[in-house]
Amino acid sequence: MMQRAIGRALNVPEAEIETAIPLVEIVTTGDRIQDRRLLEIGGKALFTKEIEEALLAGRIDIAIHSMKDVPAEQPQGLCIAAIPEREDARDAFISRDFDSFDTLPFGARLGTASLRRQAQALALRPDLKVEMLRGNIDTRLRRAAEGDFDAILLAVSGMTRLGVTEHIREKLSLDAFLPAPGQGALAIQTRAANIDAPLNAQWVAALNHPATAIAVAAERGAMTALEGSCRTAVGAYARIEHDILHLTTEMLSPDGSARWRRVGDLPQPTEADARALGQRLGGEVHASAGDQEVDPATLDG
């Protein structure tokens, strides 16, 4: 998808895009290790580390990441050059036997590796048995279809990009299941020294979606203040309507028994102002919630 979009932005003939802008597949540590939670093996950065190393070494020129996997701080020498228009940021409910989250029976088994989704689900349904589920989307869908879980939760955006939305039983409420910061958005990363090169400037201008970039800046500002990682249950979602940015951010206790939330608006937002709003609201949430970080040793899966 991004390969063709970059090619079109650079006016490369459609038939020549795959040759002119070759794809380099990199399997990250986060992709390889499927039997443990991310917080046990180094966190979300395991989905970006090897790709960023290839970028710094010059083996690739452009990296595409899921924004929710990108750490708050960029490695020295790299930058986020563009953020394309966001896909649906909601979480998806997938189940072989049940039509919606609310129809799950008492004590149902819910599969997810996300501490945020675990906490939000338990906040609504403390009776659920949340069990660790990792693997690529195909693996997770297969396990749900085989009945290993009564239901699983995935990102709508990932399913949309892979063309498997027919498995979605319900798109969950953005209020009850506030997304991870940056969920649904992509980050296009490059070397900072090359950002102003004419060819780079051309595709950056074509692919960057200002409203998405501003919303993501607000969410990542909140993430920074909340020290958001796979060790904390953190959500943030921003949208722009009629030139007003609306941001909601929250932190939850891992068992869902407590939830701290702040909401704020910002007229005519810039990225810098949006980030500052996120940091302020996130700071207020953090002050109320205190330290909610999870010790991996306390987890079952």
265-269 long-range contacts (CB < 8 A, ≥24 apart) are 266/218, 267/243, 268/243, 268/244, 269/214, 269/218, 269/240, 269/244, 269/245
Of the listed ranges 2-6, 85-89, 246-250, the one predicted with least confidence: 2-6
Establish if 301 belongs to a structural domain.
no
Domain boundary among 171, 195, 222: 171
For residues 98 and 164, state if they share a domain: yes
For residues 263 and 277, state if they share a domain: yes
pLDDT, tens digit (0-9, with 9 covering 90-100), for 231-280 = 789 999 999 999 999 999 999 999 999 999 999 999 999 999 999 999 99
Mean pLDDT of all residues belonging to the chain: 89
Q: Cα(175)–Cα(38) distance, rounded to whole angstroms?
A: 25
For residues 221 and 194, state if they share a domain: no
> Is 69 one of the annotated active-site residues of the chain?
yes
For residues 69 and 193, state if they share a domain: yes
Establish if 291 belongs to a structural domain.
no
Establish if 198 belongs to a structural domain.
yes
For residues 114 and 67, state if they share a domain: no
Between residues 31 and 193, which one has the greater pLDDT? 193
Domain harbouring 231, CATH code: 3.30.160.40
Establish if 299 belongs to a structural domain.
no
Count up the domains in the chain and report the number: 3
Structure tokens at 263: 């909401």
For residues 191 and 69, state if they share a domain: yes
pLDDT, tens digit (0-9, with 9 covering 90-100), for 109-137 = 999 989 999 999 999 999 999 999 988 89
**Structural domain range at position 133:** 91-171
For residues 99 and 158, state if they share a domain: yes
Establish if 214 belongs to a structural domain.
yes
**Catalytic entry in 69, 97, 243, 295:** 69
Establish if 154 belongs to a structural domain.
yes
For residues 81 and 195, state if they share a domain: yes
Q: What is the 3-state secondary structure (H, E, C) of the chain?
A: CHHHHHHHHCCCCHHHHHHHCCCCCCCCHHHHCCCCCHHHHCCHHHHCHHHHHHHHCCCCCCEEEEHHHCCCCCCCCEEEEECCCCCCCCEEEECCCCCCHHHCCCCCEEECCCHHHHHHHHHHCCCCEEECCCCCHHHHHHHHHCCCCCEEEEEHHHHHHHCCHHHCCEECCCCCCCCCCCCCCEEEEEEHHHCCCHHHHHHHHHHCCHHHHHHHHHHHHHHHHHCCCCCCEEEEEEEEECCEEEEEEEEECCCCCCEEEEEEEEECCCHHHHHHHHHHHHHHHHHHHCCCCCCHHHCCC
pLDDT, tens digit (0-9, with 9 covering 90-100), for 63-76 = 999 999 898 888 99
For residues 65 and 198, state if they share a domain: yes
pTM check: above 0.85: yes
Of the listed ranges 13-27, 98-112, 173-187, the one predicted with least confidence: 13-27
pLDDT at res. 194: 84
Structure tokens at 83: 């953020």
